[in-house]
Structure 1
């Protein structure tokens, strides 16, 4: 599933910033214009079989395509290994499935948004805004099945809270934080808070820690200056996933160190 989704994400990353439909026209070689045959569109394997070149004109095919497919497969597997047990761990399987689907969806758009932000310094509304509907519906359905409406209310607080923090930063430091970051913060705040206050706190803090560290490294090596534009979306997403996977453990250790655990 991850391989197939990764193949589609390659289309999304290429076409969405250009304002092209992800459905039509069919994928074609940018060099010769020949439509890609079905048997040349098998994730990873086709690229290997073609030795990274178009079958018709022998133009090179970027290694990023199979890398995205393989990375998405690995990331989907990690999500499944970590969260599939929640489906059968004492709760409703339907509720656990809703959570799993929400996280797989978030992982898919995380890959697409990170690559698009790196390429264009944009987080397109066409991906971010529908994510609100998807995560609210999936996690709302999970709460309806399990009866855990506390998690859903907490998620709403996370959406408003993290979105407000980013909005204040965007208004206080013009040019330092884009409105795309603000919109994405609401989605991430909703999912993180649904999982708990610990994941929200860790995920929110980790974004600034990771992004700040990366910026300092670039400046110390002379590859960026104080006014250089560095996409923050990938660090928001990386921080959020750190909160999702390790938030409860890190938060418990932090409270324990303060004598509050």
Structure 2
């Protein structure tokens, strides 16, 4: 078994590399472009990015945030996404540990970064990311269940996907303008992972999405910056709620039960 610090450090380094790729995903997927071709290039002078200038975070710092060829500014979002993904990978790995389910959680972490940024940018959760994630996550969790001899966890994952996806579908049917189909599809995927953890974590993740969304929307409404018809991307709140449940769901459930005297 790898030492915990080495495991977390390795996950962080992997996160840096994944974060670099996610920058491409976030830019190209909403535009319907291939993430594999053509290679990355400066949008101003169209010069291809050299390999030495494509090292996560470090290259941006050495170039002082500018293109090597035309000196055009390179957005600070690129190194922030890379560093943020590295931190997210490290935190998730520290929480999950050296477990067979870790690849499934790291995969969810990666696509969550991309989906949150895309939803903030264009108010969409692309099917090109969400739908393929169902079979990928199902395979990863099935492998984990078989390796760990945990068929009940796999059953919980499947039920979680049905329950959370069903709740969001009902909300969409009741008010299509308030809950998009993209949110419904994402809910099933998040339910798959939260159901793996347990019913308590599923409830916490589902509840926190609406709580966080309300905490952000209410001040905007009170300040006159948003109204009932204002469209706010809900995907980031769903994702934040799910990861909060992963990180602290068990403690939150325990605190609630103690408060309720159960």
The corresponding residue for 1:15 is: 28
**Residues 5-49 of structure 1: per-residue CA shift (max 9 Å, x gap):** 000000000000000000000000000100000000110011111
Asked if 1:106 corresponds to 2:119, the answer is: no
Q: For 1:148-200, what per-residue CA distance to the aligned partner results, in whole angstroms no more than 9, with x for missing partners?
A: 11111111111000001000101101211110000000010010010111110
- Rounded to whole Å, the distance in 2 between the matches of 1:224 and 1:210 is 16
Match of 2:198 among 192, 196, 199: 196
1:147 deviates by 1.5
Kindly state the Cα deviation for residue 81 of structure 1 after the two structures are TM-superposed. 1.1
The separation in 1 between residues aligned to 2:192 and 2:93, in whole angstroms, is 20
Q: Which runs of 4+ in 1 moved over 2 A?
A: none
Say if 2:35 is the partner of 1:35: no
Corresponding residue for 2:8?
Answer: none
How many residues align? The count is: 249
Partner residue of 1:185? 187
CA deviation profile, 1:83-129 (whole Å, cap 9, x unmatched): 11xx3xxxxxxxx23x1010001000000000000000000001001
Q: Which whole-Å CA distance do the structure 2 matches of 1:180 and 1:129 have between them?
A: 10
Q: Give CA deviations for 1:207-241 in whole Å, capped at 9, x if unaligned.
A: 00001111112112222121111000000000000
Counterpart in 2 of 1:92?
A: none
- 1:225 matched residue in structure 2: 227
TM alignment of 1:1-261, pairs within 5 A:
1-84=14-97, 87=98, 96-97=99-100, 99-260=101-262
Question: 3-state SS of the aligned residue for 1:80?
Answer: helix
- Provide the C-alpha distance between the structure 2 equivalents of 1:3 and 1:174, rounded to a whole number of angstroms: 38
Q: Distance in 2 between matches of 1:174 and 1:154?
A: 28
Show the counterpart of 1:91.
none
- Mapped partners of 2:197, 2:40: distance in 1: 38
1:140 and 1:33 map into 2 onto residues whose CA distance is 44
Offset of residue 259 of structure 1: 2.1
Give the secondary-structure state (helix, strand or coil) at the position aligned to 1:239.
helix
Segments of structure 1 that go 5 or more residues without pairing to the other structure are 88-95
TM-score by length of 1: 0.94
Aligned residues: CA RMSD: 0.8
Shift of 1:252: 1.3
TM-score (norm 2): 0.93
